[in-house]
Chains A and B, each alone.
Chain A
Amino acid sequence: MDPTSHQFKENAKQALSNDNLQSALAQMKVGFVERRREAAEKIPEFDRLRDQARDLKNHTLANLDRYLERYERKAIEAGAHVHWAETAAEARKIILDICRQKQAKLVTKGKSMIAEEIALNEALEADGISRVETDLGEYIVQLRNEPPSHIIAPAVHVLREEVEEAFREEHTHLDDARRLSEPSDLLNEARAILREKYSEADVGITGANFLIAETGSSVIVTNEGNGDLTQTLAKTHIVIASIEKVVPTLEDASSILRVLARSATGQEFTAYTTFTTGPRRPEDTDGPEDYHVVILDNGRSDLLGTEFQDALRCIRCGACMNHCPVYHAVGGHSYGWVYPGPIGSVLTPTFLGVAEAGHLPNASTFCGRCEDVCPMRIPLPKMMRHYRQEEFDKGLAPPAARFGLDLWRFAATKPRLYRLGTRVASWAMRLAARGGSLRKAPLASGWTDHRDMAAPTGASFQDQWSARGGRRRPSAR
């Protein structure tokens, strides 16, 4: 996927004038917030669980090499093939080689953001391998030929009517007169179509929510059960996961699972939580004959020991974007790459650099709601500020902004001069507004294009305060 993060402003403008998208976003912004709040309030220990989950991941990241090696050893013992990929290109090659070796014609895919990160879909397509997304949301965006706009709800930007349209266009073998007006109609139709694909597929690819060092297992959580069918009905199962997905023990995975679904969808637990350890054993009735795990670094190990290490705690629950007012305004595609929302505003400059993605950490009011709801307590605003600083230090900030800051600094470090300046500006504004509001102001069109600007109500506090000799009311002498 070619990033468009550098044109975030244009993307956002388009998104704001897209009525369908705005209707979809208006629906999502209420539901997720309410459900997460209810789920969190239901268990008094929720915040303590968040602390535990944070500490556990911090411990894991401090010993990442050890846990990854342990995971590899246990996974191999269970019969897995473990592959290490340092870059996205290496991961793609590993997966394509397996597919070629299996002479795969059809691949089924469960939801995986890592697959998006390494641009796996494009690579499969270029190799002539058909791909069917089995997560309903992913299936919808596949039919619409677009990337997911949210990390747990890929088609959250799509209205029901638009899904119906995509299904009618694609499923031409079905009766034109069929009813598709209810969400359940759409779900059943997708289910019926996907059923056929699961056993037809040569390779099933899934992501992983966790890799468990203690047992060598991979874990996925889903609500549709599509992941289980994807990974058990194809003869070959490939798991693609990034290095920070490892946790020490089963117990640790269940600790994090307690905050994951509650933060994501407000569920206590997802409908399906599936642990996979190795391929089918002789006594098993089903399961894949081959089980591969591709472990991707793609720059993550460079973050260890830096101010961005905390971002590796992310469990991809989506709570930050579900609560982000900027995401609510412009949707996930505006962010221009794989990861949207506040975590995307940190990860995108990490992966692509501030020259490409500098807008994202700037396009935040620092309202702090993302950090407030993050189950792993990732200090997202602090990291965005780091990127603003990097951008400023590299001289990438717009010249007008730099000039403005220089001017402001010059005045704000000289209180007498500052007061003189405010006196003149205040006088001019009051004269222009005659005490009320300005509808237009020079150099402030960003403000006055959309709202009035209140004029000062009088001389500055400092001038009035000095005139009164440092007293609240004029003294009654």
Chain B
Amino acid sequence: MPPDQSTHQEPERPRVGLFVTCLVDFFRPQVGFAAVKLLEDAGCEVSAPLNQTCCGQPAYNSGDSKSAAAVAEGVVRAFAEFDYVVAPSGSCAGMIHEHYPRLFQEDPVLGPMAADLAGKTHELISFLVDILGVDRVEAAYEGVVTYHDSCSGLRELKIKAQPRQLLASVAGAHLRELPSAETCCGFGGAFCVKYPEISNKMVSDKADDITATGADTLLAGDLGCLLNMAGKLSREGSGIQVRHVAEVLAGMGDAPAIGQIDEPMRKEG
């Protein structure tokens, strides 16, 4: 459907606020556009409020609840008007869904607003499948892909089957499971720079496991984890392409992979 006909012809179209996430905004904006395409294709009217920055997790996980609340307040206010809030990240969606109510539990004004926001906030892929009932996408991607289940999405939001279900409908893509898919990649936000040696051990093990699958593409639903794993694979000289799952599902898998310049040179089949 043409995206630029935002008219009032279809009054039931759910109004979705896209929480872009700071990492997608900065490092890989096309993930945001992939999310917009997937949401619009599924019949949503998508807006991305300009007054959003970050969900506040860096401060929240550093024990600085005041700063976290200051930043989160901006999100609570910016997204109050939407039917749904969707983020292409289990980590940021999990922060809003799981932790915002706790962050504002003693605030008589923001408390109820945060609880309302938490209830309508979803991670992109699980929103498409679980809420909108999307069961397939029109996309093609030639190659053997493997999938990493990012921790917050997997454990806080129970995202496991949804991306696999949609990937199964991508023409040409074959999923080969990563045995350690549920093991943390070692990103952990500030963890990776606070404890670089431990993080390095974790991401090195992960890179070995990814390589051992023989897949030519690694997908996941969180850009933090993807940047970490892509950075390690690239440092090791691996040719494995790393992408956000939304790019492939939106038929935008032909852009250069994370950290790469050239057109991808994927092995066929």
| Proximity string of chain B (223-253) to chain A, C-beta cutoff 8 Å, 1 when within and 0 when not | 0000110111011000000000000000000
Partner of A451, one of B27, B40, B232, B260: B232
Partner of A461, one of B4, B20, B65, B228: B20
Complex CA distance for A418 and B32, rounded to whole angstroms: 18
B183 — which chain A residues lie within 8 A by C-beta? 325, 367, 369
Interface residue stretch chosen among B79-87, B118-126, B151-159: B151-159
Known contacts A405-B59, A460-B29, A461-B29; A454/B258 CB under 8 A: yes
Q: Which of A388-402 contact B (CB under 8 A)?
A: 388-393, 397, 401-402
Q: Report A42 CB to chain B, min CB distance, Å.
A: 19
Interface residue stretch chosen among B7-15, B169-177, B186-194, B212-220: B186-194
B56 nearest in chain A by CB position:
A412
- Is B36 on the interface with A (CB-CB < 8 A)? yes
A463 nearest in chain B by CB position:
B29
Q: Report B221 CB to chain A, min CB distance, Å.
A: 15
Asked whether, in the complex, the Cβ of B235 is within 8 Å of the Cβ of A451, the reply is yes
- Is A464 on the interface with B (CB-CB < 8 A)? yes
Complex CA distance for A406 and B156, rounded to whole angstroms: 28
A447 — which chain B residues lie within 8 A by C-beta? 192-193, 196, 231
Q: Report B69 CB to chain A, min CB distance, Å.
A: 10
Complex CA distance for A299 and B195, rounded to whole angstroms: 30
B20 nearest in chain A by CB position:
A461
A386 nearest in chain B by CB position:
B63
Complex CA distance for A2 and B24, rounded to whole angstroms: 46
Asked whether, in the complex, the Cβ of B40 is within 8 Å of the Cβ of A472, the reply is yes
Asked whether, in the complex, the Cβ of B188 is within 8 Å of the Cβ of A454, the reply is no
Q: Report A327 CB to chain B, min CB distance, Å.
A: 10
Q: Which of B155-208 contact A (CB under 8 A)?
A: 155-156, 182-184, 186-203
Q: Report B175 CB to chain A, min CB distance, Å.
A: 21
Asked whether, in the complex, the Cβ of A390 is within 8 Å of the Cβ of B193, the reply is no
Asked whether, in the complex, the Cβ of B47 is within 8 Å of the Cβ of A393, the reply is no
Partner of B151, one of A369, A408, A475: A369
- Is A48 on the interface with B (CB-CB < 8 A)? no
Q: Report A307 CB to chain B, min CB distance, Å.
A: 11
- Is B261 on the interface with A (CB-CB < 8 A)? yes
Q: Report A25 CB to chain B, min CB distance, Å.
A: 10
Partner of A409, one of B71, B196, B258: B71
Complex CA distance for A459 and B227, rounded to whole angstroms: 18
Complex CA distance for A365 and B48, rounded to whole angstroms: 29
Q: Report A53 CB to chain B, min CB distance, Å.
A: 20
Total chain A interface residues with beta-carbon distance under 8 A = 72
Complex CA distance for A411 and B58, rounded to whole angstroms: 13
Asked whether, in the complex, the Cβ of B201 is within 8 Å of the Cβ of A366, the reply is no
Asked whether, in the complex, the Cβ of A408 is within 8 Å of the Cβ of B59, the reply is yes
- Is B211 on the interface with A (CB-CB < 8 A)? no
B74 — which chain A residues lie within 8 A by C-beta? 412-413, 415
Asked whether, in the complex, the Cβ of A415 is within 8 Å of the Cβ of B53, the reply is yes
| Proximity string of chain A (457-475) to chain B, C-beta cutoff 8 Å, 1 when within and 0 when not | 1111110111000111101
A362 nearest in chain B by CB position:
B194
Q: Which of B12-32 contact A (CB under 8 A)?
A: 20, 22, 24-30, 32
Complex CA distance for A364 and B201, rounded to whole angstroms: 14
Q: Report B123 CB to chain A, min CB distance, Å.
A: 15
- Is A3 on the interface with B (CB-CB < 8 A)? no
Q: Report B151 CB to chain A, min CB distance, Å.
A: 4
B47 — which chain A residues lie within 8 A by C-beta? 470
Complex CA distance for A457 and B183, rounded to whole angstroms: 28
Complex CA distance for A192 and B23, rounded to whole angstroms: 61
Known contacts A325-B184, A392-B62, A454-B27; A446/B198 CB under 8 A: no
Q: How many A-B residue pairs have CB under 8 A?
A: 220
- Is A330 on the interface with B (CB-CB < 8 A)? yes
A326 nearest in chain B by CB position:
B198
Known contacts A454-B27, A457-B27, A471-B4; A12/B197 CB under 8 A: yes
Asked whether, in the complex, the Cβ of B25 is within 8 Å of the Cβ of A12, the reply is no
Q: Report A244 CB to chain B, min CB distance, Å.
A: 26
Asked whether, in the complex, the Cβ of A368 is within 8 Å of the Cβ of B156, the reply is yes
B58 nearest in chain A by CB position:
A408
A411 nearest in chain B by CB position:
B53
B50 — which chain A residues lie within 8 A by C-beta? 415, 419, 462, 465-466
A450 — which chain B residues lie within 8 A by C-beta? 196, 199-200, 203, 232, 235
Complex CA distance for A408 and B70, rounded to whole angstroms: 11
B3 — which chain A residues lie within 8 A by C-beta? 471-473
Asked whether, in the complex, the Cβ of A444 is within 8 Å of the Cβ of B193, the reply is yes
Complex CA distance for A388 and B57, rounded to whole angstroms: 13
Known contacts A365-B191, A409-B70, A472-B3; A388/B197 CB under 8 A: no
Q: Report B210 CB to chain A, min CB distance, Å.
A: 13
Asked whether, in the complex, the Cβ of B59 is within 8 Å of the Cβ of A458, the reply is no
Asked whether, in the complex, the Cβ of A368 is within 8 Å of the Cβ of B48, the reply is no
Asked whether, in the complex, the Cβ of A470 is within 8 Å of the Cβ of B26, the reply is no
Complex CA distance for A446 and B199, rounded to whole angstroms: 10
Complex CA distance for A391 and B62, rounded to whole angstroms: 9
Q: Report B106 CB to chain A, min CB distance, Å.
A: 14
Asked whether, in the complex, the Cβ of B259 is within 8 Å of the Cβ of A456, the reply is no
Given A389-B64, A450-B196; 19 other pairs, CB 8 A cutoff: A326-B198, A364-B191, A365-B199, A366-B151, A367-B188, A372-B155, A385-B60, A392-B63, A409-B67, A412-B54, A449-B200, A451-B234, A452-B234, A454-B28, A457-B27, A458-B30, A465-B32, A472-B33, A473-B4
25 contacts between A and B (CB under 8 A): A12-B197, A330-B198, A362-B191, A362-B194, A363-B191, A365-B151, A365-B188, A368-B151, A369-B184, A389-B65, A397-B64, A412-B54, A412-B71, A415-B50, A435-B261, A447-B192, A451-B203, A452-B235, A452-B259, A457-B255, A458-B30, A461-B25, A462-B20, A465-B50, A475-B4
| 5 cross-chain pairs, A with B, having the tightest CB-CB distances, nearest first | A365-B188, A451-B231, A388-B63, A446-B193, A392-B63
